[in-house]
Amino acid sequence: MLVGAVPNGGSAAERAGIAYGDEVLEINGKSTKGMSSFDALEAIQSDGSVASLVVRRPSSGAEPRALTLQREFTTTKNPVSYRLVERDNGAKVGYLKLSEFNAQSKARVLEALQQLNSRGASSLVLDMRGNSGGVLDGAIGIAGLFSEKPLVLFVTDAGGARQPLYSRESGAVASQPLQVWVNGRTASSAEVLAAALHDNCRAKVVGAKTYGKGIIQGVFGLSDGGALIETVASYATPAGAEINERGIAPDEERIFLSDVLGSSFLDADIKGAAIAQPVCGTRR
């Protein structure tokens, strides 16, 4: 894993002499071989207020250096809230609100699912209304908490070639019937996750058509000091549908009471959700 940007001036990384292009071999005792950038963020945040790194500078030929950096990052927001709601018939619905995708998303969703499982949830709602996206690897990891190493998306490059991306999670932790809630402000990584859960026959998508943001853009510097922003790839669902400017159409359109009358009506929305295993083979 290489350092892909010049460390900020005055940061702990700069003071330790880390430079653009350095190779990070270990983070907090874990080898970085096979790590994504999201995995690296999780590893850095796993050990309190310090981060221990083993770094090598390929250009110098010197031996790797062991460094201990004092973490000076802004506290990452917990993007997950959850609750258990009991229906009139006694059935328990586990509700998870995922507000964004950041370095904590997968771990917090896992924690919420484990808690809801232990408290007897017989069905689940994953609410991504208003989730504008974030770290794509979060969506890929979370998809694997609901099914075994599913195909999550295709990345389509500028030449039209498609690269499949699968979740690498070792095992699903939630098998209950699942419903995913979306709206017109659900975008990017949230759309990827909603489509993955739908197309792998894991969930019914309910609400309104999503925003339709599914591109990867590159910024290229120009000799006159300007910059060119160019689309270099796009996201497609496991069923092969492009997301950008099209969005994800719900299986069931629904106006939520909590959107119209306020959050105090959220429990009513949850109790009114008809949650069942989706019919396999259904595609948009």
149 classed as catalytic: no
Residue ranges with strand state E in 87-139: 92-98, 123-127
Letter for the amino acid at 31?
S
Q: Rounded CA gap, 114 and 94, in Å?
A: 11
Phi-psi region of 196 (alpha: psi -120 to 50; beta: other; left: phi over 0): alpha
Query: For tokens 């653009």, what's the residue?
Result: 20
**Cα–Cα distance, 145 to 168 (Å, whole number):** 10
For residue 189, the surrounding DSSP H or E stretch is helix 189-199
CB 19 within 8 A of CB 7: yes
Instruction: Give 216's contacts (C-beta < 8 A, 6+ positions apart).
Output: 155, 231, 232, 233, 234, 235
Helix (H, G, I), strand (E, B) or coil at 144: helix
Q: Is 243 in contact with 213 (CB distance < 8 Å)?
A: yes
Residue of 188, 189, 204, 234 marked active site: 188
Beta strands in the chain, from DSSP E residues, in sequence order: 23-27, 30-31, 50-56, 65-70, 80-86, 92-98, 123-127, 151-157, 162-166, 178-182, 203-207, 215-221, 227-236, 252-253
Q: Establish whether 188 is a catalytic residue.
A: yes
SS3 215: strand
Catalytic residue among 189, 204, 213, 234: 213
What residues act catalytically? Answer: 188, 213
